[in-house]
Amino acid sequence: MKAHGKTVSLILGSGGARGYAHVGVIEWLLENHYEIRSIAGSSMGALVGGIYAAGELDTFKQWILALSRSDVIRFLDFSFSSEGLFKGERIISVLKELVGEHEIEDLPVNFTAVATDIERQKEIWLSDGPLFDAIRASIAVPTIFTPHEYRGMRLLDGGLLNPVPVMPTLRDRNDLTIAVNLNAAHNGLPQVNVKAAEGEHMRNSRNPYQQRILDFIESLQRGSKKTAYGRLSMLELVSNSFETMQNALSKLKIAASPPDVLIEIPRSASRAFEFHRASSLIELGHEKTAAVMADWQRAK
């Protein structure tokens, strides 16, 4: 299916590791000759969208495809602050090394990262200045990452107020507005499990310190299932509460400003912190985009 050069405003929603699906969405659009002229993103949508706008998506893709659980653990810099478990400085430093530092206003694609000013309880659009300041602010999930101090504001995850930020693109003069919602209801798609062999290999190859950190994170994420319903760990509770809120907000935002095309990735596709599952999530994004765009073409 060729799009004959249709121009696109692309909205990339928040949703933790499911944000890897954005890579598959973008790849399908480019393969089918859509021209992405502007991007607005919240949280992982801001991270993936910003890196694409900087022209470094392929570099990022190759890096995430090689990530293991233990790699993800190494990027977590524990905070002793009551405002968040992790500082987030280490992962931002790694990403800067990977893709370089960029100013948003110099990017070849218009880009807006959405964050939340927690003190004024206000949605903030970051469309100029250092790219990774905007990304760091937009990915600051409450209680998981500490707030990002920037321009006199204390900024948190954009998904708090706008998990699918269509509004920043409304003035664009492009042919299509395409939004990606990562918080859709379960639709029966099979989940792809990480190979058991990968987990065994990682356990055999890491040092005892890494193992203790991994055990700690896994205990936070999974908890011990002592009842029929299971006992949610702190991290799961925060994640599930945040995603429940984002699900409701996503519906409201999409209803208020409907995009031309809506691509929905189910919440069941992965847990928020399964950042070692890039391959299956990228593939899911590609497949969902192909199916939705085929339906859109038939309906024209």
pLDDT higher than threshold 80 for residue 154: yes
Quick one: pLDDT band at residue 185, thresholds 50, 70, 90? Answer: confident
What residues have CB less than 8 Å from 139, skipping those under 6 apart?
A: 43, 44, 46, 47, 88, 145, 157
Instruction: Report, as an integer, the average pLDDT of 217-234.
Output: 44
pLDDT digits (tens, 9 = 90+) for 62-83: 999 999 988 988 898 888 878 8
Q: Is 270 one of the catalytic residues?
A: no
Q: How confident is the model at residue 3 (pLDDT cuts 50, 70, 90)?
A: low
- Domain with 168 in it: what CATH number? 3.40.1090.10
Domain assignment present for 2? no
CA-to-CA distance for 52 and 183, rounded, in angstroms? 22
Burial of 22 from C-beta contacts in 10 A (0-12 / 13-18 / 19+): buried
User: At 91, which amino acid appears?
Assistant: I
Q: What phi and psi values does residue 85 have, to the nearest 5 degrees?
A: -70, -35
Domain count, the chain: 1
The structure tokens listed for 249 are 């907000």
C-alpha distances out from residue 51 to 17, 43, 57, 216, 245, Å = 16, 13, 6, 31, 27
Q: Roughly how many angstroms between the first and final C-alpha of the chain, as a whole number?
A: 14
With respect to residue 70, please indicate whether it lies within any of the assigned structural domains. yes
Dihedral sign computed on CA atoms, order 242, 248, 249, 254? positive
Res. 85 pLDDT band, cuts 50 70 90:
confident
Residue 212: give the domain boundaries. Answer: 7-299
Kindly state whether residue 45 falls inside one of the protein's structural domains. yes
17, pLDDT greater than 70:
yes
Summary mean pLDDT of the chain: 85
157 is a catalytic site residue? yes
Q: What is the dihedral of CA 252, 258, 263, 267, to 10 degrees?
A: 0
Active-site annotation holder among 43, 70, 270, 280: 43
| pLDDT at 272 (0 to 100) | 86
Q: Is residue 1 part of a domain?
A: no
| Burial grade of 23 (CB within 10 A; 0-12, 13-18, 19 or more) | buried
199: pLDDT strictly greater than 50: no
Give the predicted TM-score (pTM) of the model.
Answer: 0.84
pLDDT (tens digit per residue) in 239-249: 777 777 788 88
71 within a domain of the structure (yes/no): yes
In our burial notation (b when 16+ CB lie closer than 10 A, e otherwise), range 192-214 reads eeeeeeeeeebeeebeeebeebb
In a domain, 184, yes or no: yes
Considering the candidates 38, 42, 70, 157, report the single residue annotated as catalytic.
157
Determine, yes or no, domain membership for 195. Answer: yes
| pLDDT-based confidence at residue 201 (cuts at 50, 70, 90) | very low
CA 276 to chain centroid, in Å, comes to: 13
In a domain, residue 92? The reply is: yes
Mark residue 4 as left, alpha or beta (left: phi above 0; alpha: psi -120 to 50; beta: remaining): left
Confidence band (pLDDT; 50, 70, 90) for 57?
Answer: very high
Render pLDDT for 244-300 as a digit per residue (tens, 0 to 9).
778 888 888 899 999 999 999 999 999 888 999 999 999 999 999 999 999 999 997
Query: In the prediction, which pLDDT does 166 show?
Result: 97
φ and ψ of 83, to 5 deg: -90, -10
User: Which pLDDT value is given to residue 229?
Assistant: 36
Q: Of the given ranges (71-75, 107-111, 127-131, 213-217), which has the lowest mean pLDDT?
A: 213-217
